[in-house]
Homo-oligomer: A and B are copies of this chain.
């Protein structure tokens, strides 16, 4: 179902020869309306891929007619030629769909620094082929066509009162959204204008994708796009819609974390007792990015000293001698000193819960990350690329 679960959307995923494996590599999601509202959030990396440069400008009118996505090449640092490739992709799609080019969002993922005229021709042909294959049942094909090192497609659907939200995502490495690459397309048939779509999307991504930090490496190509068809005719309660959109985003974020390259643990770092939500996020992210902590979890070692050492590098409000740390329910550190013996902690399960109480306030946040494993190193060294 994926992005075609809500009414008013068609999608397709086709093989255009960008992937040497011959697997599907171009996807198109089209909004058939009646509304054509949309919103998008983009990587905060200052080195941005050509499709990001295009899409950031194109979204300014708040209208999205369609999203064209390709795997098999990030089209990043490919110069003026690469930007023209993106622009021509938007124009080809617009022409075939009978709409304006600024209504077309373009997303790319794959290796940075490649994108010649062969690449361009395949993307353009693939776009035409996908548009010729559009259907209301095409959501799953689209979700497969955006996969890179992903081992499974990621999709989610939420059904509200007369309206629904659909979504698809890809991303398995360079996962620290805020950067081989996270792409998400969300669709809804609820009635929303572009401003409301934008506000809801920013709120939802702030507590979901922005709190996923698998390997601390921010992509040049990340984009999360929300398309609003309004085809249900139902205007949802804003709080209910916000909550549903956040739930769909969190579901997709957890699917990304579960399929992260080489990972053997999916780690949720829950920070409580923080003076502010910003402090809680900073502390969680600092632990999530500490290679020594991540290697310890791979080794099933509840090394809470590395957690405290990471917390100590932040600017968050805390007293080291007040901090408690629990791992999978066992409080190994209380008040900055040893508590239960580390032997009591069972880190064998893939799902790992680290609870940090700063005792500095009431704010909380949870950061999702992964462990640092031999397979992560293997997949990201030249052996595999």
A interface residues (Cβ-Cβ under 8 A, vs B): 45-48, 74, 76-79, 111-114, 173-174, 179-180, 215-220, 289-292, 295-296, 298-301, 303-306, 308-314, 318, 320-321, 333, 335-338, 372-374, 376-378, 380-385
Copies in the complex: 2
| A309–B216 touching, CB < 8 Å | no
Q: Tell me the smallest distance from the CB of A375 to a CB of chain B, in Å.
A: 9
Among residues of B, the one whose C-beta sits closest to the C-beta of A46 is B312
Let me know if B305 and A111 touch, CB within 8 A.
yes
How far apart are A46's CB and chain B's nearest CB, in angstroms? Answer: 4
The 7 closest A-B pairs by CB, nearest first: A112-B305, A299-B381, A47-B312, A299-B382, A301-B382, A295-B380, A79-B337
Pair A292/B173 contact, Cβ less than 8 Å: yes
CA distance A374 to B301 in the complex (A): 17
Residues of B close to A180: CB separation below 8 A: 292
Q: Which residues on the B side are within 8 Å of A304 (C-beta)? A: 113
A46 touches B320 (CB 8 A): yes
Q: A216-B291, A305-B112 are in contact. Are A296 and B333 (CB under 8 A)?
A: no
Chain B nearest CB: distance from A85 CB in Å?
13
Q: List 26 A-B contacts (CB under 8 A).
A: A46-B312, A46-B318, A47-B336, A48-B312, A76-B308, A76-B309, A77-B336, A78-B338, A79-B321, A112-B309, A113-B333, A113-B337, A180-B292, A215-B292, A217-B291, A217-B310, A218-B312, A220-B305, A220-B312, A291-B291, A291-B380, A292-B380, A301-B381, A373-B377, A374-B377, A376-B377
- CB A219 to nearest CB in B, in angstroms, measures 7
Contact B45 A313 (CB under 8 A): yes
Contact of A337 among B77, B217, B295, B381 (CB under 8 A): B77
Contact A48 B382 (CB under 8 A): no
Rounded to whole Å, the gap between the CB of A321 and the closest CB of chain B is 7
Decide if A295 touches B47 in the complex (CB within 8 Å): no
Question: Which among A298, A338, A377 has the greatest number of chain B C-beta atoms within 10 A?
Answer: A377
Which B residue's beta carbon lies closest to that of A316? Answer: B46
- State the CA gap A113–B335 with chains docked (Å): 12
Which residue of A217, A218, A306 has the most chain B CB atoms within 10 A of its CB atom?
Answer: A217
What residues of B have a CB within 8 angstroms of the CB of A310 in the complex?
A: 217
B216 touches A47 (CB 8 A): no
Q: Given contacts A77-B333, A173-B292, A337-B79, are A309 and B382 in contact (CB under 8 A)?
A: no
Q: Is the CB of B77 within 8 A of A296?
A: no
Distance of A300 from chain B, by nearest CB (Å)? 6
Whether B299 lies near A77 (C-beta < 8 A) is no
A285 to chain B, nearest CB (A): 13
Shortest distance from the beta carbon of A178 to any chain B beta carbon, whole Å: 8
* Cβ contact within 8 Å between A112 and B306: yes
Inside 8 A of A46's CB, which chain B residues have their CB? 311-314, 318, 320
Q: Is the CB of A218 within 8 A of B79?
A: no
Query: CB-nearest residue of chain B relative to A313?
Result: B218
* A298 (CB) vs chain B CBs: closest residue: B381
Contact A378 B382 (CB under 8 A): no
